[in-house]
Chain A
């Protein structure tokens, strides 16, 4: 199981939990199972998210491996100017 940190305003979609546990070994599994376990996050997933894994931000690389002890933080999609 991977612990995923949820930002404040998204916690309404996780029953108020700031951290949820997800069975996942890759980024794609993490996002798919997050949507299955917490359907309320789907609108935000559709708007776009980035995921910080051990301090580095990933956008769309589905098969990025995630270790059980990795620090995983869900973030709004990071863009720039």
Chain B
């Protein structure tokens, strides 16, 4: 569908913008909510997966004969059990179950289903895999060198110039103008090399699913995922069955952040169930989550920026090198597109290299690829400001992208909110607060695209006049609340008269994954349209009762009313009254809407953070943090604030502590939360938030996605604060105490 430029001019909201209680709150605090591992079925088997202990090895053979004889074992699966995948599913298939080679520590090579955990473990030990261990590479810079161990042959595409390592899969380039000319116009040019470590999304709920395939070929799957339609389509493709025969139900989800936008265990559980003719449940351990799901890329970057003494940026050049694990598809293109997007630049170029290494295939992580690129650009801008004695917020505002700016990645921006976030930051008391000894303040800006996609909703008016709304996107960030609010707003009824549920894949049409900050925008748009359809029917029913033309009926405050004195004098009919006689006036009343929602509005944020560095230990304490972000229209401000805070906290972890550490043997050294340290409440101050509302013209209420932009600025904002506090520029994340201490020592020496 073409963009519905249906933005309702500023209107007075009654429900949208308020803060009602979340509909899933009681279930979640009482333990009644059912997550992935909570589903059970009669006769259910336990599924377990055997994983490669090698970073890179040829699989010469797998002997499962002894495992199959272990008492209680009902099925053993290897790659040979799966049909040859379609080309577009080949890498997903190979990641789910290794074929010719194991490409990383933790890569699945076989799986068993048994009547007990004990039997399953015993069977895994009885599987003999004949490995030929191969040289490996886990570092992006090493992988790009000629002569580096190659994971694949002939996979580099037409964009990679001759002479590059065969581990470079794709090259991207964006920009306009002449950067060399721009650098000559600058009073100061700074170039820095920066690195970031791979970070995991750190969702608290491990992947879990329960699969049941019947002898008639019909299958059911209960799963913790960000997109059960994606799971259905992908698994059906991998197993070679019709999508309509696989019914997938999404459980409640204990976090995803992009990491649950693909499949890992689900096809394996289905194949085990098909072979065993019994339901099979697989629940990943935390170690498996770290070793065999998708963290984000680690990166190596070079950034060069020129600036005049008055703060004008004359040119920006960034080369981003992202390793995306064992298969092509790192998010480097988004880093390259987003890194300079906050600024109105005459001369800008960004280059990205997508590189494979012997690590688990990266998965999306909130604004995939953008935080690292922003870290590079915002760090160099900060250093330029400090060396030229300029106000870092003032410089950003001076160069800020605005309506009419041709962005660094091509399109011209329409109405955007970056200047508003910077102006709000300048006015905020945080900006003027005094700092103490060993303390520093950092700021940074960030950008994310957002998108819409395929969306279906169905709204049903019950005989008592309350409303059920059915949508097809797992609720990760409060979508049931925001959909309920938009439905109530449109219908003109109270919030507690609407209940929103998440349908299984057999109950609604195709819905894209809950990602891309799309749900409040796209599902919200569809909800509003479905409500308007139901309202139209209600008006028609009232018109029938009154014996007037439907066009002579309007809908106001949850009631059908005659449109004016000429329409006749009839008392308004409420939704309850119309619903009560629906059987008599034509049958049940419902509205639905199906759309490929286009027109998502881009989003910008500015972050400000104060830290204190302990010069004796190198430890960093975050003292104060404020997020300024454009939400378009905040439907439920508490959830919007939660998204802002969550992104900031994940960014704090990424900046200060989180890191995939590989040994010389190519094996992951810290696959657990004791050794991979995410921030906990005691590490953090209250994250303050300021919501800006610059309407998105592509949504009736002006909504923009808010879930991803908030993780883009924190890496740079914290690096700028730590560098100010420590008195030395840090260029490698995470800024863990040993690295900070080393940098301070080197500066003093």
Q: How distant is the Cα of A79 from the Cα of B333 in the complex, in angstroms?
A: 11
User: Quick one: which of A15-61 are within 8 Å of B by CB?
Assistant: 18, 40, 43, 50, 52, 54-61
**B410 lies within 8 A of A43 (CB):** no
Chain A residues within an 8 Å CB radius of B363: 81
Q: How distant is the Cα of A64 from the Cα of B599 in the complex, in angstroms?
A: 11
Q: How many residues of B contact A (CB 8 A)?
A: 51
Chain B residues within an 8 Å CB radius of A9: 159, 171-174, 351
**B598 lies within 8 A of A59 (CB):** yes
Q: Write the B387-415 contact mask toward A (1 if CB under 8 angstroms, else 0).
A: 00000000000000000000001111110
**B414 lies within 8 A of A81 (CB):** no
**A57 lies within 8 A of B598 (CB):** yes
Show the binding face of B for A, using Cβ within 8 Å: 1-3, 157-159, 171-176, 257-259, 261, 333-334, 337, 349, 351, 363-368, 409-414, 448-453, 515-518, 596, 598-601, 698, 705, 708
**B349 lies within 8 A of A64 (CB):** no
Show the binding face of A for B, using Cβ within 8 Å: 5, 7-10, 12-13, 18, 40, 43, 50, 52, 54-61, 63-65, 71, 73-76, 78-81
Name the distance in Å between A52's Cβ and chain B's nearest Cβ. 4
Contact of B449 among A12, A57, A73 (CB under 8 A): A57
Name the distance in Å between B546's Cβ and chain A's nearest Cβ. 39
Chain B residues within an 8 Å CB radius of A76: 172, 333, 337
Q: How distant is the Cα of A65 from the Cα of B1 in the complex, in angstroms?
A: 10
Least CB separation from B411: chain A residue: A52
Contact of B365 among A18, A59, A63, A81 (CB under 8 A): A81
Chain B residues within an 8 Å CB radius of A57: 411, 449, 451, 598, 600
Chain B residues within an 8 Å CB radius of A55: 411-414
Name the distance in Å between B129's Cβ and chain A's nearest Cβ. 33
Task: Given the known inter-chain contacts A55-B411, A57-B411, A57-B600, please indicate yes or no for A79 contacting B2, CB distance below 8 A.
Answer: no
Q: How distant is the Cα of A54 from the Cα of B451 in the complex, in angstroms?
A: 15
Chain B residues within an 8 Å CB radius of A79: 364, 368, 451, 515-516
Chain A residues within an 8 Å CB radius of B257: 81
Least CB separation from A18: chain B residue: B176
Name the distance in Å between A59's Cβ and chain B's nearest Cβ. 7
**A60 lies within 8 A of B596 (CB):** yes
**A61 lies within 8 A of B2 (CB):** yes
Among B257, B366, B411, chain A packs the most CB atoms within 10 A around the CB of: B411
Q: Which 4 A-B pairs have the closest CB atoms?
A: A81-B258, A80-B516, A8-B173, A81-B364
Name the distance in Å between A58's Cβ and chain B's nearest Cβ. 5
**A8 lies within 8 A of B175 (CB):** yes
Least CB separation from A8: chain B residue: B173
Q: A56-B414, A56-B599 are in contact. List 19 more A-B contacts (CB 8 A).
A: A7-B172, A8-B174, A9-B171, A13-B158, A18-B176, A54-B412, A54-B414, A56-B598, A56-B600, A57-B411, A59-B452, A61-B596, A63-B2, A75-B409, A75-B411, A80-B515, A81-B365, A81-B366, A81-B367
Chain B residues within an 8 Å CB radius of A64: 2-3, 598
Least CB separation from A26: chain B residue: B2
Among B257, B410, B452, B518, chain A packs the most CB atoms within 10 A around the CB of: B410
Can you offer 20 A-B residue contacts whose CB atoms are under 8 A?
A7-B172, A7-B173, A9-B173, A13-B158, A40-B158, A43-B157, A55-B414, A56-B414, A56-B599, A56-B698, A57-B598, A59-B452, A75-B411, A76-B172, A78-B334, A78-B449, A80-B364, A80-B515, A80-B517, A81-B368
